[in-house]
Amino acid sequence: MQIIKDLVEKHYDSIVSLRRHFHTYPELSAQEFNTQQRILEELSALGLTPRKIAGTGVIAKLQGALPGKTIAIRADIDALELQDECGKPYQSQNPGVCHACGHDGHTAMLIGVAKTLVELKDRLAGTIIFLFQPSEECFPGGAALMVEEGALADVDAIIGTHLWQSLSAGTSGISYNRMMASPDSFTITIKGRGGHGSMPHQTVDALLVGAQVVTALHTIISRNIDPLEQAVLSIGSFKSGDTFNIIPDTATLIGTVRSFTMDIKKIVFDRMEQIVSGICLAAGATFQIDKNLGFPPVINNPQIAEVFANASVETLGAENTLTIDPVMGGEDFSVYLEKVPGAFIFIGTGNKDKGIIYPQHHPKFDIDEKALAYGTETMVRTAMKLSSSL
C-alpha cells in the first residue's frame, strides 16, 4: 500500500526529532525514567492509553477496526555506560551515558509505527501491542520482567528490529532460523603463592598460570567443537599483579562464550573446567570458575521471518533485502521468542560517504537517519500482514 510509505514520510521528521532527543538524553538500564515519560506523552497524544510496565518500560494497545490476530512489536530503550563522542549537535548531555547501540532509534521508530498505525486504524485487522522494553543492555534483561508482568498475554506473534551498522543504509538483513547467539560470561580466579620477583622458585606464579590458561582456552573452539557449528570463546580481561618485582598470588580472567545450542555450551564449559583444573594442578595453584549463563539464542520463526522479509522487499526492494548468516551477538528478544513465535530483523545504518563507519558500542557510533524511515515502514507492513493473515 502506497499509503503506508506516504504516512511514514509524513511522520519522518518527528521520528528523527525523537531519535535525536533520546540520543541527547540517554539513560542507563532500569533508570529510563525520563525516556519512559516521553514515550507515555507521545502515545497518549495519539489517543492511546499507555501504562508503565517492568519498572521503566511502557506498554500500549491499538485495536484495529477489523477482526484479526494480536501482534506485539518491541523496542528496547536503554543506553550504554559509555562516553559519547559522535560529535553531532545531539551528542549525549549525560556524561558517561551513550546510545551507542541504536536503542534511541528503536524507540523513535516504534513511536513512528504507532503514529502510522493509528492513522491506518480503519484498515487495521486485529490488535497491535507496543512494547517499549527497559534494560536490554544488562543481564538478566528487561524482557523477562516484561513477560512476567503480562506483556505477551494473548499475543499471537512478536516482531522486532535492530539498527545494524555493518549493513548499509537502505538494506535489511534477516535469517530464517538462527539469528543471534546466546551470550554467556565467565570469571576464572586463579590463586597461587606470591613472592619476590627475584625468587620465583618460592612462589606459585598466578600470572604465569593465567597466561597458560588463556592460551589453552583458545584451543576449545578449534579442537573440541565441530567446525560446522558456530561458537566463540573470547577473553576480555586478564588482571594480575601491580608492580615489577612482586610475583602475584592471584590472576583473574573474564570472558564470554557464544553458542546456539545447549550441547555446544556444555562442551565448552566442560572443557574449560578440565583445562583450568589440569594447568592449575600441574602448577600447584587453585582456581574457581564462576559462570553467568545469559539469554537464550534468537531463533527466528521461518514463517514470520518470511513475512518480515516480504515487508522489507516492499519497503527496500528484493535486491536490498538480504539473507544473512547468524551473528554471535546476543539479544534478550530471545526471551519473547521462547513464549510466542516471532522474528527479528536488522535494518542497515552504515554509510561510508557520511562517515558513519563506527560499530555498535563504539563512542563515535551514529546512524544514517534514513534507516529510521525504512525500519518504521518495514515494521508497519509486517504488523499489518501478520495481524490479518496468521
Indicate which residues carry an active-site annotation.
Answer: 78, 136
Kindly compute the dihedral angle of the four CA atoms of residues 97, 99, 103, 107, in this order, to the nearest 10 degrees: 80
- What CA–CA distance (Å, rounded) separates 139 from 132? 17
- CA-to-CA separations, 272 to 146, 214, 251, 291, in angstroms, rounded: 34, 10, 16, 11
Closest CA to 264 of 228, 303, 225, 235: 225
Any idea which residue has 506483556 for its cell? 151
Amino acid identity of residue 376, one-letter, is T
CB atoms within 10 A of CB 228: 5
SS3 49: coil
Q: Where are the alpha helices (DSSP H) in 2-102?
A: 2-24, 33-44
Angle (CA) 388-300-31 rounded to 5° is 95
